[in-house]
Amino acid sequence: MSPALALSGKELAAALREETTARAAALTEGGRPPRLAVVVATADESSAWYVRSIARAAAKCGIACDIRDLGPDASAAALRAELARLSEDEAVHGIILQTPLPAGAALEDLASAIAPGKDVDGANPVSLGRLAARLPAFAPATAEAVVALLEHHGIELTGRHVAVVGRSTVVGKPAALLLLDRNATVTVCHSRTPDLPAVTGRADVVVAAAGRPGLITAAHVRPGAVVIDVGTNPTPEGGLVGDVDAASVTPHAGALTPVPGGVGPVTTALLLRHVVQAAE
């Protein structure tokens, strides 16, 4: 069997960025320059790196990005007030609340202060509820990126069995909802799923979103199946690895997303597309 096809996210991300740049330019010309606000309350270095990379990507697309750093000791009340203020600010079109948050501040509680129309990373529980009810809403960009990558590479979803490993509110659950909407038969697995390889091994598509490096091996994947690796796990050497043990899965799977260069770039590109959509 030939080794897995690499499902790169770079080409799709570039096409999305091109479209977003044109839409951002039209908005700016019309006197409504698109603006994203990222609220930060952590000294975590990988989070700071991620926020800077979003700001750089936004600038390249012609989207202004304000980083509102309230410091690692910010209270939940101060964070909520800032999110409410930004929700009212007519010059701001998209709002992201960056994690991790200080002790005593929970994303699920605070995200309800983000106006759903500006909730470009689908963090407000109202957005998830609307997604579940098939009403217009911003989906979390990572979950949307999973489906966008599969569709971009022409992978059929109707009637296919997809196993999603992970049930978080930001990735696993919304990804499962979006896949259901594409008529896939979806199984959602989590840390209490007994015999994970038996479940994922029956799937046509495996979506790994557990945050556990190397969790998914050849034993979890049916020969020829498609594997989407959402995991972004920092290595002690300063690199990044996914949830999939690529050395074991590559000779066995039909297709596999690389980490980095798979889901990640598409996620950022979709986030920025959401900002122009919100501004429009």
CB of 260 to ligand NAP, least distance (A): 8
Decide if residue 233 touches ligand NAP (CB under 6 A). Answer: yes
Q: Which of 63, 16, 68, 67 is nearest to 35 (CA)?
A: 63
Q: Which of 258, 254, 195 is nearest to 231 (CA)?
A: 258
Decide if residue 170 touches ligand NAP (CB under 6 A). Answer: yes
Decide if residue 54 touches ligand NAP (CB under 6 A). Answer: no
Structure tokens at 61: 């697309």
**What are the backbone angles phi and psi of residue 187, rounded to the nearest 5°?**
-115, 125
* Distance, CA of 183 to CA of 7 (rounded, Å): 21
Stretch touching ligand NAP by CB under 6 A, among 67-75, 127-135, 165-173, 219-227: 165-173
CB of 272 to ligand NAP, least distance (A): 13
Please list, in sequence order, all residues whose beta carbon lies within 8 angstroms of the beta carbon of residue 31, skipping any fewer than 6 positions away.
none
Structure tokens at 20: 């977003």
CB of 50 to ligand NAP, least distance (A): 9
Interaction with ligand NAP in 138-157: which residues (CB under 6 A)?
Answer: 142
Instruction: Determine which residue in the list 52, 85, 190, 202 makes contact with ligand NAP, applying CB under 6 A.
Output: 190
Three-state DSSP state, 193: coil
Stretch touching ligand NAP by CB under 6 A, among 41-49, 90-98, 118-126, 163-171: 163-171
Decide if residue 272 touches ligand NAP (CB under 6 A). Answer: no
